[in-house]
Amino acid sequence: MLIFVVSPLSSKAATNNSTVPQIDNVKTNVITTEGNDSVELLKESAPNSEVIIQIPSHSTVTILDKGSEYTHVSYDDPNTGEALTGYILNTNLADPTQSTSDTSEANDDKSTNAAEVKDDKSTDTAEAKDDKSTDTTVLEGNNNSTASTDISEQEKQSAATNNVSSDTSSTVTTKRLAQTKTVKSVVVKSDTEISYQALQGIALKSPTNVYQAQDANSSVLKSYAQGSLLKYEAPVQQWYKCTVILNGKPTPGYIYASDVETTDDSENVLIGTALKNPTNVYSEPSLDSKVLKSYAQGKQLKYNQQPKTDWYDCTVIINGVATHGYIKAEDVENVTTEQKSLKGIGLNAPTKIYSKASDSSKTVKTYAQGSVLKYKTFTSDWYVCTVIVNSKKITGYIKKNDVENIVDSQQSLKGIGLTSPTHVYSKASSSAQVLKNYTQGSILKYKTFTSDWYECTVIVNGKKITGYINKNNVENIVESQNSLKGIGLTSPTDVYSKASSSAKVLKNYAQGTVLQYKTFTSDWYECTVIINGSRVTGYIKAGSVDNVVSPQQNMRGIAQKSATKVYSKASTNSKVLKSYSRYTILSYKTFTTNWYECKVYVNGVPTTGYIQKGDVSTQKEINYNISLSEAVAMQMKASPKADGLGTVDATADQVEYYLNPNNFAQNSSEYFQFLLLSSYSGTTASELNNNILKGEGVLEGHGQAFITAAKTYNISELYLISHSFLETGHGTSQLAKGVKINGVTVYNMYGIGATDGNATQNGAQYAYDHGWTTIDKAIIEGAQFVSNNYIHNGQDTLYKMRWNPAGMEEKGYANHQYATDVGWAVKQTSTLSALFNELTIYTLLFEVPVYTL
Cα dihedral: 409, 414, 416, 418 (round 10):
-10
SS (H, E, C) 470-499: EHHHEEECCCCCCEEEEEECCCCEEEECCC
Tell whether 258 and 118 lie within a shared domain: yes
Tell whether 194 and 252 lie within a shared domain: yes
CB 432 within 8 A of CB 467: no
Q: What is the mean pLDDT of the chain?
A: 83
**Integer Cα distance of 700 and 198 in angstroms:** 90
CB 157 within 8 A of CB 150: no
Tell whether 623 and 613 lie within a shared domain: no
**pLDDT at residue 147 in the model:** 33
Tell whether 629 and 749 lie within a shared domain: no
CA atoms lying within 13 Å on the CB side of residue 415: 23
What single DSSP character describes residue 267? G
Tell whether 604 and 570 lie within a shared domain: yes
**Residue 388: phi, psi to the nearest 5?**
-100, 120
747 located within any domain: yes
593 located within any domain: yes
**pLDDT at residue 393 in the model:** 93
**pLDDT at residue 613 in the model:** 94
Tell whether 602 and 702 lie within a shared domain: no
726 located within any domain: yes
**pLDDT at residue 149 in the model:** 30
Cα dihedral: 372, 373, 374, 375 (round 10):
-140
**pLDDT at residue 203 in the model:** 80
For 147, 163, 721, 824, the CA distances from 167, given in Å and listed in that order, are 15, 12, 104, 108
Tell whether 733 and 824 lie within a shared domain: no
**pLDDT at residue 80 in the model:** 84
**pLDDT at residue 159 in the model:** 37
308 located within any domain: no
400 located within any domain: yes
**Integer Cα distance of 386 and 699 in angstroms:** 86
Tell whether 112 and 162 lie within a shared domain: yes
Concatenating the DSSP letter of every residue in 295-353 gives: E-TT-EEEEEE-TTSSEEEEEEEETTEEEEEEEEGGGEEEPPSS--EEEEEE-SSSEEE
Domain boundary among 476, 495, 510: 476
**pLDDT at residue 215 in the model:** 77
**pLDDT at residue 237 in the model:** 54
Tell whether 355 and 367 lie within a shared domain: yes
**pLDDT at residue 564 in the model:** 96
Beta strands in 125-238 (DSSP E): 183-188, 192-203, 208-211, 220-224, 229-233
**pLDDT at residue 2 in the model:** 40
What single DSSP character describes residue 86? E
Domain boundary among 357, 385, 405: 405
**pLDDT at residue 37 in the model:** 80
CATH number reported for the structural domain that contains residue 429 in this entry: 2.30.30.40
Tell whether 714 and 576 lie within a shared domain: no
Among 788, 737, 734, 744, residue whose Cα is nearest residue 768: 744
Tell whether 599 and 638 lie within a shared domain: no
186 located within any domain: yes
Cα dihedral: 649, 653, 657, 660 (round 10):
110
**pLDDT at residue 166 in the model:** 33
- Give residues with Cβ within 8 angstroms of 546, minimum separation 6: 486, 487, 489, 570, 592, 593, 594
**pLDDT at residue 11 in the model:** 34
281 located within any domain: no
Tell whether 71 and 134 lie within a shared domain: no
312 located within any domain: no
Q: How many domains does the chain have?
A: 8
Give every residue of the chain whose pLDDT is below 70, as ranges: 1-24, 34-35, 97-196, 227, 234-238, 248, 261-267, 307-308, 756
Angle, vertex CA 485, rays to CA 484 and CA 489, nearest 5: 120
**Integer Cα distance of 89 and 632 in angstroms:** 112
β-sheet with 311-318: strand ranges across: 291-295, 279-282, 321-328, 311-318, 300-305, 269-274, 332-334
Cα dihedral sign for 79, 84, 86, 87? Answer: positive
Q: Kindly give the interhelix angle for 652-659 and 628-636, rounded to the nearest 10 degrees.
A: 130
Domain boundary among 274, 300, 329: 274
Range of the domain at 349: 341-405
Bridging pattern class, strands 341-346 and 403-405: antiparallel
CB 87 within 8 A of CB 49: yes
pTM exceeding 0.85: no
**Integer Cα distance of 553 and 590 in angstroms:** 5
CB 46 within 8 A of CB 145: no
**Integer Cα distance of 555 and 825 in angstroms:** 27
